[in-house]
Amino acid sequence: MYEAVGLSYNESKKSLIHSRLAPRIQRLGLGGFAEYIAILDDVSQAAEFQMAVDLLTTNETYFFREPKHYELLERELMQRRSKTPLSVWSAAASFGDEAYSTAMLLADMQTQGRVGPDWSILATDISQRVLLSAQEAVYPNDRLRAVSPERLRRYCLRGEGPMEGQSKLQDKICTRVEFGQLNLCKPFDGLGPFDVIFLRNVLIYFDPPTKIDVVDRVLATLRPGGLFFLGTAEGRVPCKTPLQTLQPGAFRKAP
């Protein structure tokens, strides 16, 4: 897992790994972890390896998580002197909640004339499974609990009958987000430059050297003066790239 996708777990995480993988091992009818490891080591079992990554990394997410980040983003964008193209990267997009939240904010600001119409959002994740779910854009209503009633009316369709309790995002939001699979621990080319990057709640899976490599690699795609967001609980940014702290979890790349 470490060599392939950068996941790093110490001995204290043993019970977590057991609780996440044991039901899968049982479902496959295997005799234990040794048999499961043999499957993961088999290059022809790439789908099962991806399943194991998903089980070990999937965490709770919801729309407009850490709302102060979106408030800061809105203030910063209002101070832009031009309505030039705006490019945003949700670098650990998971099920798409973060990317679509950002799209709602930018759509509102465009309607109000505070940003131009030429904005785009790239959402990437290592898990193809969560990306496919994100592209469907159907969410339990509880995941939308922090979305204002006005935005729910503008951008969401409430499910009825078999779909009761769920909502689907409208095409005017979905079409503004492009999804793609990406391993942050491997070199990547052709991305950016971005004006805003979200890299929230993913560094917890990496050891210190990997954190530095990932953050500096991601920041290389951020324009000077661009905004960079980590999870507020993730503390100091592990990187060599000069950053200015704006508030917990929010930074500006040095000009």
- Token couple for 235: 């503390």
> Do residues 173 and 123 touch, judged by C-beta distance below 8 A?
no
User: Taken in order 91, 7, 25, 11, is the CA torsion positive or negative?
Assistant: negative
Give how far Cα 131 sits from Cα of 3, 93, 123, 128, Å: 22, 8, 9, 5
> Do residues 196 and 225 touch, judged by C-beta distance below 8 A?
no
- Token couple for 110: 């465009």
Active site residue 189: no
Q: From the candidates 20, 114, 143, 154, give the one annotated as an active-site residue.
A: 20
Q: From the candidates 97, 125, 195, 213, give the one annotated as an active-site residue.
A: 125
Neighbours of 169 (CB within 10 A): 21
∠ CA(32), CA(38), CA(39), 5° rounding? 95
The Cα 148–Cα 242 span in angstroms is 36
User: Taken in order 108, 193, 251, 131, is the CA torsion positive or negative?
Assistant: positive
The Cα 226–Cα 243 span in angstroms is 10
Active site residue 80: no
Q: For the CA atoms of 211, 216, 219, 223, what is the dihedral angle to 10 degrees?
A: 170
Looking at the annotation, which residues are catalytic?
20, 125
